[in-house]
Amino acid sequence: MQLSLFRSKSHTTKVVPTTDLGLIRSLIKSKIPETALAGSLALFNEGPDLRITSPRLTKHGDFRAPHRNQPARVSVNGNLNPYAFLITLIHELAHYRVWLNHEHEKQTFRLRRPSRPYPHGKEWKNQFQVLMQPFLNLEIFPGDILPRLSDYMKNPRASSSADQKLAKAIQGYDLLDTTLRLEELPFDAVFSLHGKKTFRKKEKLRTRYRCICLTTNRIYLVNAGAPVIVINHKS
């Protein structure tokens, strides 16, 4: 699962998953950089299905193994900008490759059954690095993203949100909107996160801010780049 790390736009279109390369091409050709299309299609030669979804608040993509006669599937939020979409797509395809390799190992005779890989463990990191490597060039990623992405790929994590420079560079290619980032608000500002709970911003702790939920008084650590809505509030 690629955790939510890029600012969202307001809408997208749901589509039916498919393993047909022609249909996959039609789905992703407007979602990723044109120069990455051929390489991306090549990653689907052995599956899995692809679904482009409506925006999700907690994640930008996921992988689901086959279940109840349903094939393996990756999904990506359709509202991501082309660079965020491509990174998320390859992130999820790396999960698929790890699952595929694990299934092959289980079918190979061994005295000890192979242990299940961790979701974002060394197997996933390796696959993500291998799949991303052909895309790490200036023909696909612009000069303000490529060096930061290359550094991140040396030891990729479950979410790129920990890499503030990379996240900001990618967010720079989102469509212009009026949403602010939490780091842009002053101390003690009141804001809404995802249009739901209301918080008061407090001090920064590394890459996150301590925030107090005004309805429960619980403390939350919110990413500095999280999109928020400012609320006029009197104490």
Mean pLDDT of the chain: 83
Encode pLDDT of 154-170 as tens digits: 999 877 666 889 999 99
**181 close to 167: Cβ distance less than 8 angstroms:** no
Say how far apart CA 233 and CA 25 lie, in whole Å.
48
User: What is the CB neighbour count within 10 angstroms for residue 41?
Assistant: 15
Helix (H/G/I), strand (E/B), else coil: 186 = coil
What is each CA distance from 23 to 17, 18, 54, 135, in whole angstroms? 9, 7, 18, 22
Mean predicted confidence (pLDDT) in 92-112 = 77
Question: For residues 75 and 166, is the Cβ–Cβ distance under 8 A?
Answer: no
Determine the Cα angle at 11 with ends 7 and 16, to 5°.
115
Q: What pLDDT sits at residue 235?
A: 45
What's the whole-number mean pLDDT along residues 200-213? 94
Percent of the chain with pLDDT over 70: 80
Judged against a pLDDT cut of 50, whether residue 9 lies above it is answered with no
- Structure tokens of 54? 């409506």
Query: Residue 77's Cα: distance from chain center in Å?
Result: 8
Distance CA 9, CA 12 (A): 8
Q: At what angle do helices 82-107 and 164-171 cross, to 10 degrees?
A: 120
Three-state DSSP at 177 gives coil
Local confidence band at 35 (pLDDT 50, 70, 90 cut-offs): very high
pLDDT at 12: 43
Sign of CA dihedral 216, 221, 222, 224: positive
Tell me the mean pLDDT in the region 181-186. Answer: 91
C-beta pairs of 91-94 under 8 Å, 24+ apart in sequence: 91/2, 91/61, 91/128, 91/156, 92/1, 92/2, 92/61, 92/62, 92/63, 93/43, 93/48, 93/131, 94/124, 94/127, 94/128, 94/131
Give the residue-averaged pLDDT of 177-196: 83
Sign for the CA dihedral angle at 90, 94, 99, 101 comes to positive
Residue with tokens 């961790």: 118
Mention the CATH class of domain 180-230: mainly beta
The whole-number pLDDT of residue 189 equals 93
By three-state DSSP, how is residue 190 classified? strand
pLDDT beyond 80 at 17? no
User: In the structure, what pLDDT confidence band is assigned to residue 114 with cuts at 50, 70 and 90?
Assistant: low
In DSSP terms, 51 is beta-bridged to 75
Over residues 45-95, the pLDDT tens digits come to 767 899 998 877 678 899 998 888 888 899 999 889 999 999 999 999 999
In this prediction, residue 5 carries a pLDDT of 42
Domain with CATH 2.30.30 in the chain: 180-230
Instruction: For residue 112, name the pLDDT band (cuts at 50, 70, 90).
Output: low
C-alpha distances out from residue 179 to 108, 172, 185, 194, 200, Å: 52, 13, 11, 11, 17
